[in-house]
Chain A
Amino acid sequence: MYFALTDEQRALAETVRDYLADRFDLTAVRAVFEDAAGDGHPAELWKAFGEQGWLAALVPEDNDGLGLGLVDAQVLARAFGAGAVPGPWLPTVLAGEAVRLAGSAAQRAAVLGPLAAGELVATVALRAPGGAFDASGVGVTAGADARLTGTASPVEYPAAARVVVVAATEPDGGVGLYLVEPTGPGVTVTAHESYDGTTRLGALTLAGAAAERLPGSSAAVLADLNRRGAVLAAADLVGIARSTLTRTVEYDKTRVQFGRAVGSFQAIKHALADLHVAVLMAEHAALYAAHAVDLALPDAELAVAVAKAKAGDAAERATGAMIQYHGGIGYTWEHEAHFFYKRAKRLLGSFGDVGQHLDRIAAPGAVLATAAVRQAQRAQRVQTSRGGTRLSAPP
Chain B
Amino acid sequence: MDLTFTPQEEKFRSELRGWLDANIPETWKDLRFWRGISDDEGFELRRDWERRKYEAGFAGIAWPTEYGGRGGTPGMKAIYDEEMALARAPQSANGLGLTFLAPTVMAIGTDQQKRDIIGPMLRNDVIWCQGFSEPGAGSDLAALRTSGVLDGDEYVVNGQKIWTTNAMHGDKLFTLVRTEPGSQAHRGISMLLIDMHQPGVETRPLRQISGASEFGEVFFTDARVKASDCLGGIGNGWKTAMLLLSFERGASGISQYTNYRRGYDEIAAAARKLGRDTDPTLRRELASRLVELECLRYHAMHVLTQVEQGRDLGSESSITKLQWSEAYQKLFETFDHLLGLDGVVAAPVDGLDLASLQFEAFWTRSVTIWGGSSQVQRNIVAERVLGLPR
Chain A residues in the interface with B (C-beta under 8 A): 1-4, 71, 249, 252-253, 260-261, 263-264, 266, 268-270, 272-274, 276-277, 280-282, 284-285, 287-288, 291, 294, 302-303, 306, 309-310, 355, 358-359, 361-362, 367-371, 374, 378, 382, 385-389
A310-B295 in contact given A277-B323, A359-B284, A361-B290 (Cβ < 8 Å): yes
Q: Which of B72-126 contact A (CB under 8 A)?
A: 75, 78, 86
- Output the least CB separation between A264 and chain B (Å): 4
Contact A280 B299 (CB under 8 A): yes
**Please, how many angstroms separate the alpha-carbon atoms of A288 and B298 in the complex?**
7
Contact B291 A358 (CB under 8 A): yes
Contact A269 B299 (CB under 8 A): no
Determine, out of B201-209, B232-240, B355-363, B378-386, the stretch whose residues face the partner at the interface: B378-386
Contact B323 A358 (CB under 8 A): no
- Output the least CB separation between A317 and chain B (Å): 13
A1-B308 in contact given A264-B388, A266-B379 (Cβ < 8 Å): yes
Shortest Cβ distance from A291 into B: residue: B1
The reply on B19 being an interface residue by CB < 8 A is no
Contact B10 A385 (CB under 8 A): yes
- Output the least CB separation between B100 and chain A (Å): 24
Ordered nearest first, which 9 A-B pairs have the shortest CB separation?
A: A269-B382, A284-B298, A281-B295, A3-B301, A273-B381, A361-B287, A358-B287, A362-B283, A273-B378
Contact A3 B305 (CB under 8 A): yes
Contacts of B295 in A (CB 8 A): 281-282, 284-285, 306, 310
Contacts of A361 in B (CB 8 A): 287, 290-291
Q: Which residue of A2, A260, A270 is within 8 Å of B378 (Cβ)?
A: A270
Contacts of B379 in A (CB 8 A): 266, 269-270, 273
Contacts of A268 in B (CB 8 A): 388
Instruction: Taking A309-B287, A387-B301 as given, write out 17 further A-B residue pairs in contact, using a Cβ cutoff of 8 Å, ordered by the A residue number.
Output: A1-B78, A2-B3, A2-B305, A3-B1, A272-B388, A273-B377, A273-B379, A273-B386, A277-B319, A284-B299, A285-B291, A310-B295, A358-B287, A359-B280, A362-B283, A369-B268, A387-B4
Contacts of B299 in A (CB 8 A): 280-281, 284
Shortest Cβ distance from A385 into B: residue: B4
Contacts of A294 in B (CB 8 A): 1
- Output the least CB separation between B321 and chain A (Å): 10
Contact A3 B3 (CB under 8 A): yes
**Please, how many angstroms separate the alpha-carbon atoms of A338 and B317 in the complex?**
34
Q: How large is the interface on B (under 10, 10 to 19, 20 to 34, 35 or more residues)?
A: 35 or more
Q: Which residue of B78, B296, B302 is within 8 Å of A4 (Cβ)?
A: B302
Can you list 19 pairs linking A and B with CB atoms under 8 Å apart?
A: A1-B75, A3-B3, A3-B304, A4-B302, A4-B306, A249-B388, A261-B388, A268-B388, A270-B379, A274-B322, A277-B381, A284-B299, A284-B301, A285-B295, A294-B1, A309-B287, A362-B284, A362-B287, A378-B86
- Output the least CB separation between B6 and chain A (Å): 9
The reply on B137 being an interface residue by CB < 8 A is no
Shortest Cβ distance from A261 into B: residue: B389
- Output the least CB separation between B337 and chain A (Å): 14
Q: Which residue of B3, B10, B269, B284 is within 8 Å of A388 (Cβ)?
A: B3
**Please, how many angstroms separate the alpha-carbon atoms of A4 and B2 in the complex?**
9
**Please, how many angstroms separate the alpha-carbon atoms of A269 and B389 in the complex?**
9
Contacts of A249 in B (CB 8 A): 386-388
**Please, how many angstroms separate the alpha-carbon atoms of A358 and B289 in the complex?**
10
Q: Which residue of A263, A274, A285 is within 8 Å of B298 (Cβ)?
A: A285
**Please, how many angstroms separate the alpha-carbon atoms of A388 and B2 in the complex?**
12
Shortest Cβ distance from B7 into A: residue: A385
Contacts of A252 in B (CB 8 A): 388
Shortest Cβ distance from B261 into A: residue: A389
Contacts of B86 in A (CB 8 A): 378
Mark interface residues in B244-287 (1 if CB within 8 Å of A CB, else 0): 00000000000000000100010011011000010010011011
Contacts of A4 in B (CB 8 A): 1, 302, 305-306, 309
The reply on B210 being an interface residue by CB < 8 A is no
Contacts of B388 in A (CB 8 A): 249, 252-253, 261, 263-264, 268-269, 272
Contact B390 A264 (CB under 8 A): yes
Contact A367 B287 (CB under 8 A): yes
Contacts of B48 in A (CB 8 A): none
Q: Is the interface of B mostly helix, strand, loop or mixed?
A: helix
**Please, how many angstroms separate the alpha-carbon atoms of A391 and B261 in the complex?**
12
- Output the least CB separation between A266 and chain B (Å): 7
How many inter-chain residue pairs (CB < 8 Å) link A and B? 159
**Please, how many angstroms separate the alpha-carbon atoms of A263 and B298 in the complex?**
30
Shortest Cβ distance from A297 into B: residue: B3
Q: Which of B3-41 contact A (CB under 8 A)?
A: 3-5, 10, 13
Contacts of B382 in A (CB 8 A): 263, 269-270, 272-273
Shortest Cβ distance from B304 into A: residue: A1
The reply on B198 being an interface residue by CB < 8 A is no
The reply on B65 being an interface residue by CB < 8 A is no
The reply on B288 being an interface residue by CB < 8 A is yes
The reply on B55 being an interface residue by CB < 8 A is no
Q: Which of B261, B298, B302, B390 has the most CB of A within 10 A?
A: B298
The reply on B353 being an interface residue by CB < 8 A is no
- Output the least CB separation between A360 and chain B (Å): 8
Q: Which residue of B10, B280, B286 is within 8 Å of A367 (Cβ)?
A: B286
Shortest Cβ distance from A252 into B: residue: B388
- Output the least CB separation between A105 and chain B (Å): 30
Q: Which of A263, A362, A369 has the most CB of B within 10 A?
A: A362
Q: Which residue of B271, B288, B297 is within 8 Å of A358 (Cβ)?
A: B288
The reply on B221 being an interface residue by CB < 8 A is no
Q: Which residue of A288, A291, A370 is within 8 Å of B269 (Cβ)?
A: A370
Contact A386 B3 (CB under 8 A): yes
Contact B271 A368 (CB under 8 A): yes
Contacts of B385 in A (CB 8 A): 273, 276
Q: Which of B286, B287, B290, B299 has the most CB of A within 10 A?
A: B287
Contact A280 B319 (CB under 8 A): yes
Contact A303 B294 (CB under 8 A): yes
**Please, how many angstroms separate the alpha-carbon atoms of A279 and B182 in the complex?**
45
**Please, how many angstroms separate the alpha-carbon atoms of A252 and B387 in the complex?**
10
**Please, how many angstroms separate the alpha-carbon atoms of A1 and B306 in the complex?**
10
- Output the least CB separation between B46 and chain A (Å): 25
Contact A358 B284 (CB under 8 A): yes
- Output the least CB separation between B104 and chain A (Å): 26
Contacts of A370 in B (CB 8 A): 269
**Please, how many angstroms separate the alpha-carbon atoms of A268 and B389 in the complex?**
11
Contact A3 B302 (CB under 8 A): yes
A368-B3 in contact given A3-B298, A277-B323, A302-B294 (Cβ < 8 Å): no
Shortest Cβ distance from B383 into A: residue: A269
Contacts of B228 in A (CB 8 A): none
- Output the least CB separation between B11 and chain A (Å): 11
- Output the least CB separation between B312 and chain A (Å): 15
The reply on B375 being an interface residue by CB < 8 A is yes
Q: Which residue of B4, B271, B319 is within 8 Å of A386 (Cβ)?
A: B4
**Please, how many angstroms separate the alpha-carbon atoms of A242 and B10 in the complex?**
36
Contact B3 A387 (CB under 8 A): yes
Contact B284 A355 (CB under 8 A): yes
Contact A1 B4 (CB under 8 A): yes
